Amino acid sequence: MRQIISRAPLRVSFVGGGTDRREWFEKQNGAVVSAAIQQYVYVSVRRLPSIFDFNFRIVTSRVEQVNTLDEIEQPIVREVLRFLANPNDRLEIVYNADLPGKSGMGSSSSFAVACIEAVSSFYNRKLNKAEIAELAIKIERDILQEAGGLQDQIAAAYGGINKIKFSRSKFEVESIELSENQIEKMQKTFFLVFTKFIRTASKVEARKTADIENFNIIHKKIYEQVDDFHKEILSEELDVSKLGEFLSQNWQFKKQLDRTVSNKVLDQIYNQFLDCGVKGGKLLGAGSGGFFLFAKDKSYIPSTQIAEEFFLLPFTVDFTGVCTIYRNL
């Protein structure tokens, strides 16, 4: 049976988030430092046997069995198929992921990127990483009008640790080349904590976008962190306290952008980890839930209570980006 399985990594954004939105960088420059991690979204595409009495089967959080593209309710799948598929084909698209969606790791964009890679590979249409990222941005931000920035699609497509610069609807990806020793230190320094809350990022981002003109000073401060953080992670010493300060400062900036970015419960979780010895941290993504990213030194050991109460995830970098992992054509 003709089948393709592709995957795209989820991402961790260190600094700069918010300046990757067009509402900002079309007027002032934007930049982020982010990393793809070894947690993935998977998309399988196969041709449906003619025995079935429907033409498309879409399996995500629900199952759709329909006959035309227009009937597909899953928006990303529908629009990717419009761009890349033969409308007369009978296809099954199946989504899987290593982590929950709506958790601040860019899963929606990773899904779009993996879906583009899977469908284009299924039809032997070779797209490079830039083309995949650009098409994912076009689908999510232009066609579907989902609020948010452009870093997630780029991080999922390219993989690795990158400084991504934005100016007037263009982006430039600068791969941050680190030694094996530096990468090992980074991976030992950072870890993730799931808050058990999930949310729709586009709703939070829409509120921030509507008020973006009122937060010029905050966005400038967020942007100014990027070069300093970039220099810090290039250091062989890798000062954990400084990295923690960057994250905590970024978190304070982010909380000023919208009152729903945090709440009492999230603040309690954050303070609980700081009280236990982490050097600093921030909530990933739009806010309101998902994963915290924390920085720790070698001496930090999670308490039994924390280990039992929270899902702790190691930070491990993916350097491959989007790719096809199974091909039967």
Taking the C-alpha atoms of residue 236 and residue 256, their distance in angstroms, rounded to an integer, is 33
Assign 279 a pLDDT band (cuts: 50, 70, 90): very high
Are residues 50 and 163 both part of a single domain? Answer: yes
Are residues 170 and 39 both part of a single domain? Answer: yes
Taking the C-alpha atoms of residue 262 and residue 64, their distance in angstroms, rounded to an integer, is 35
Are residues 127 and 10 both part of a single domain? Answer: yes
Taking the C-alpha atoms of residue 260 and residue 289, their distance in angstroms, rounded to an integer, is 10
Are residues 16 and 143 both part of a single domain? Answer: yes
What CATH number has the domain bearing residue 82?
3.30.230.10
Are residues 88 and 172 both part of a single domain? Answer: yes
Are residues 238 and 157 both part of a single domain? Answer: no
In this prediction the pTM is 0.93
What CATH number has the domain bearing residue 210?
3.30.70.890
Could you give the number of structural domains in the chain?
2
The fraction of the chain above a pLDDT of 90, given in percent, is 74
- The predicted pLDDT at position 212 comes to 56
Are residues 7 and 153 both part of a single domain? Answer: yes
Are residues 162 and 223 both part of a single domain? Answer: no
Are residues 31 and 95 both part of a single domain? Answer: yes
Are residues 10 and 54 both part of a single domain? Answer: yes
- 116-158 tens-digit pLDDT: 999 999 999 999 999 999 999 999 999 999 989 999 999 999 9
- 175-228 tens-digit pLDDT: 999 999 999 999 999 999 998 877 555 555 555 555 555 568 899 999 999 999
- Strands (DSSP E) contained in 16-160 are 30-47, 56-59, 63-66, 91-97
Q: What is the mean pLDDT of the segment spanning 231-257?
A: 93
Are residues 37 and 153 both part of a single domain? Answer: yes
- 74-113 tens-digit pLDDT: 999 999 999 999 988 999 999 999 998 888 899 999 999 9
- The predicted pLDDT at position 273 comes to 93
Residue 61 structural domain: 3-177+318-328
- Cβ contacts of 265 within 8 Å, gap of 6 or more: 195, 197
Are residues 128 and 193 both part of a single domain? Answer: no
